[in-house]
Amino acid sequence: MSGARAAGADLGYPGEQLGLPRTGRGSAGSYARRLVALLVDWFLCTLISGGLANAFDWSDQAKNLTTLLIFGLQAWVLVGFTGTTLGKAVAGLHVVRLDGRPVGPVWSLARMVLLLLVVPALLWDRDHRGLHDRAADTIVIESR
């Protein structure tokens, strides 16, 4: 173990500095649930692109690009208008802005572009927010 926790610093629980509860509904979404949501979303997008690739006889490269585009489109539209994706709904997660307003299509687009770059989504802070969440002023919370 390394870092501040190893040195005995009390960093609090994820979401504490944002006023979120420690556990349950409204708490910061766990890494495990976020991974489940990602896998469900990616699987569904792969199924859709696979169906399109078979129907139109696309190459594997076109299928892979289509999967990425469908993933980005669903992340943008669904988070922008409902605050969740199908995978997040299955995992019991919801994306919210820190100021309480709906995410909306503009911030959802910014969040999605950074998400597709992958690296910002892999850099997390102690509140379980990736750089894509920080840029859009959002957090993924548990919805159940």
Q: What is the DSSP letter of 15?
A: T
List CB contacts of 79: < 8 A, sequence separation 6 or more: 85, 88, 95, 103, 108, 111, 112
pLDDT of residue 68: 96
pLDDT of residue 6: 55
Average pLDDT score over the chain: 91
pTM of structure: 0.87
For the chain, list residues with pLDDT below 70.
1-9
